[in-house]
Structure 1
Amino acid sequence: MSWPEHGAMPAALSEQLSQARCRKIIDFSVNTNPFGPPADLKRKLKEWTGTIYQYSDPSHRTLREHMAEKISCKPTQVLPGNGGAELIFAAARLFANKKVVLIEPTFTEYKQALQANGADVVSFYTKEETKWQWSFQELQPLLEKADGIWFCHPNNPTGSISAEEEIVQLLTYCRANNKLLVVDEAFYDFQQDPFLFHRYIKENDPIILLRSMTKMYAVPGLRLGYMLASDKLVEKVNNYLPPWNVNSIAEQAMNYLLNQEAFVGQTVHRIHKEKKRVLKELQTLKEIEVFPSAVNFYLIRHIKNMDMRPLLTFLAQEGIHARHTYHFPGLDGKYLRLAVKTKSENDQLLQSLARWSGGC
């Protein structure tokens, strides 16, 4: 048995740790909105079941027009997808048999998607000592020998955001040298003051932005995501997608969720207020170091930089699942990723960590 590849796999984690699965688990490996979807969504889903008897529009024309209005772009510059994962694998085809720089540690499916298409992946590793930051000066020599670059912003699993001046330099370089830049913004809407890449994109820039609606709206089962890019790049990636890839209920849900600005604002406020409280408490624990984050999850590690399996096992025995980092090159199991959950759930985590830290 190997380590589970993703969060939200409680049975696989219990098996890997050779533990009987607890009846009740608080899963801190899941980094979706802890407060759940908008209150009215369940009722809306019942209303939308009537659409299953009809084919959805394979061009998603109405949806794309609505998305364009909300995002301030043209309908031809936005592409809905069956979740962010579908668009990751479709965009990766643009790097088939090409060389691409990947900023790590990061979400492992990028490398999987790129290598599945024969891409030569050159990894650039950010480090804890620099707060997981990269500089354009460091990236440029690698980019000169590559066809493009791929990274996550805010980054998963570190929760870090890059310096605006470095991002602007990278955008400018890619534009001037026709280097394809792919940015996964799956967690951008959890930031208090997000850097919005699409505001910097010009008409024919070689830039692709990927966004997920799974995280903020807590609907991983619906599979909702979209891509922003130039008309030309949208058309290219769309050619890699099957027709009717977004089902009729998902279309309705995307239309509805795009209008939930108040819900997003309330979520961001609640999460950052709770995260501030949790991180302050964690900083009092003598055996644990906690790292700042711009989003709804954060990293911790042992102060002696030890393998985190003992803590992972201890928490699982307490009915708490954390996200291991054995699959993240550059983290190598020496960190745990924890989501910001509800106050009562976070309190249970804090109590368990205090017991573990006190017993070390």
Structure 2
Amino acid sequence: MLHGHGDDAYRYRREIRADFSTNVWYGGEPAGLKEHLFNQWSLVQKYPEVLAESLNEQVAQHYDIKPEQVLISNGTTESIYLIAQAFRGKRTTIATPAFAEYEDACRMQQHQVAFIRWDELYSSSRLATELLFICNPNNPTGSVFLPLEELISGNPQTLFVLDEAFIEFTLSIETAVPLLSRYENLVILRSMTKAFAIPGLRLGYILAHEKQINLLRDLKFPWSVNTLAIEAGKFIFDNYELLQLPVRQLLEDKESFALQLQHTGVTVYESHTHFFLAETTQGNAAELKQFLVEQHGLLIRDASNFRGLKETHFRVATLAPAQNQFLIKALSTWKNHCS
């Protein structure tokens, strides 16, 4: 799906004063990163490392795993498409609603795609599938799946592709990286663009057993991660403990924001992250999105194109409290606009 994602402000002529459609941290890139990249600018005169080897070593050291268990990628989307290619034609199940690229990548590679709803997936589930894509915390719902190890251990025939792109935005679960030492049927996708606010640089990585990484590395084209992205990743891991999100405060702001949105007449669903699903009771999400852009310069994520959701669903990310008030006030006028 080339279009239909969030953060599509570039498609509108109207200036966007608050973008609730993207689930990237609103606080901007880490302090000092811009200056660091400016100082590394001369490196763009040469080709980047073929496989981002120096960052690969740093990531492995951070997680106390072998470098052979890491593969640096041009964002999680490249990771998804690499996995779909590596396991071309397999029987694959996707836990929905979910990021559309799982399905798109798998269909491109002739997978036999099936779907299971999040609320129908249990620790005791026995899966008749070779791959399972699951995002934890989930996009777009912000739900978390807690009994993950039981599900993995109970389905040794299934390769679990676990997308942890939003793990930094929750206090309800911790990363599944420690499970890599016990299960070969686990592949973890991590993003560096969301929590560190660098989506334009495109940077992520895959963690897995070395036999899975070898398979993926053989399919990866050279230089897919640019020099500045590599340097950004190294800066982040050099300063990792200092760059953590104020997640507790962010989630408190989310709870207040969601409660105030409910008073405007929209339905808000529970979430364990800073973003959440909502549903309009007037019109549909596409109409609401257009109204907010044109009348208020605000952008939300029309979530109707997520498999399993309705045309009335939209996704909202929590921004700074003052910006959140923009949306609260704008939505209070939506009902009158529709009548």
Q: TM-score, normalised by structure 1?
A: 0.87
The alignment partner of 2:332 has SS state of helix
Q: Identify if the C-alpha distance between structure 1 residues 71 and 133 changes in structure 2 by more than 3 Å, giving closer, same or farther.
A: farther
Q: What amino acid is the match of 2:273?
A: V
Query: What CA deviation, in whole Å up to 9, does each residue of 1:88-127 have, x standing for no partner?
Result: 100112331111111111100000001110001001123x
Q: What amino acid is the match of 1:171?
A: I
1:84 aligns with 2:76: yes
Unaligned runs of 5+ in 1: 15-20, 127-131
Deviation at residue 185 of structure 1 after TM alignment: 0.8
1:107 is aligned to 99
Select 1:263's aligned residue among 213, 225, 243: 243
Deviation at residue 301 of structure 1 after TM alignment: 0.8
Deviation at residue 53 of structure 1 after TM alignment: 2.6
Q: What amino acid is the match of 2:7?
A: A
Aligned-residue identity in percent = 30
CA distance in 1, matches of 2:208, 2:261: 40
1:307 aligns with 2:258: no
Kept in 2, the 8 Å contact 1:282–1:350? The answer is yes
1:37 aligns with 2:38: no
* Higher mean C-alpha deviation, range 226-235 or range 91-100: 91-100
2:134 is aligned to 151
Q: What amino acid is the match of 2:319?
A: K
Kept in 1, the 8 Å contact 2:304–2:314? The answer is no
Kept in 2, the 8 Å contact 1:157–1:298? The answer is yes
Kept in 2, the 8 Å contact 1:26–1:320? The answer is yes
Kept in 1, the 8 Å contact 2:285–2:304? The answer is no
Shift >6 Å, 4+ stretches: none
Query: What CA deviation, in whole Å up to 9, does each residue of 1:129-177 have, x standing for no partner?
Result: xxx563244x42xx22x21211111111111111x22x12211023xx3
1:10 is aligned to 9
Kept in 1, the 8 Å contact 2:24–2:194? The answer is yes
Deviation at residue 203 of structure 1 after TM alignment: 5.4
Deviation at residue 358 of structure 1 after TM alignment: 6.3
Deviation at residue 3 of structure 1 after TM alignment: 10
2:154 is aligned to 173
The alignment partner of 1:274 has SS state of helix
Residues 212-223 of structure 1 mapped to structure 2, 5 A cutoff:
212-223=191-202
CA distance in 2, matches of 1:89, 1:4: 17
CA distance in 2, matches of 1:133, 1:281: 30
Residues 1-360 of structure 1 mapped to structure 2, 5 A cutoff:
4-12=3-11, 14=12, 21-126=13-118, 132=119, 134-137=121-124, 139-140=125-126, 143-144=127-128, 146-162=129-145, 164-165=146-147, 167-174=148-155, 177-202=156-181, 205-258=184-237, 259-266=239-246, 268-285=247-264, 287-303=265-281, 307-316=284-293, 317-357=295-335
Q: TM-score, normalised by structure 2?
A: 0.92
Q: Identify if the C-alpha distance between structure 1 residues 109 and 251 changes in structure 2 by more than 3 Å, giving closer, same or farther.
A: same
Query: What CA deviation, in whole Å up to 9, does each residue of 1:268-316 have, x standing for no partner?
Result: 133213212212212333x211112112211111358x63334323222
The alignment partner of 1:216 has SS state of coil
Q: What amino acid is the match of 2:243?
A: F
Q: Identify if the C-alpha distance between structure 1 residues 3 and 51 changes in structure 2 by more than 3 Å, giving closer, same or farther.
A: closer
Count of residues in correspondence between the two structures: 336
Q: Identify if the C-alpha distance between structure 1 residues 133 and 318 changes in structure 2 by more than 3 Å, giving closer, same or farther.
A: farther
Unaligned runs of 5+ in 2: none
CA distance in 2, matches of 1:197, 1:216: 17
CA distance in 2, matches of 1:218, 1:62: 22
Q: What amino acid is the match of 2:21?
A: S
The alignment partner of 2:150 has SS state of helix
The alignment partner of 1:221 has SS state of helix
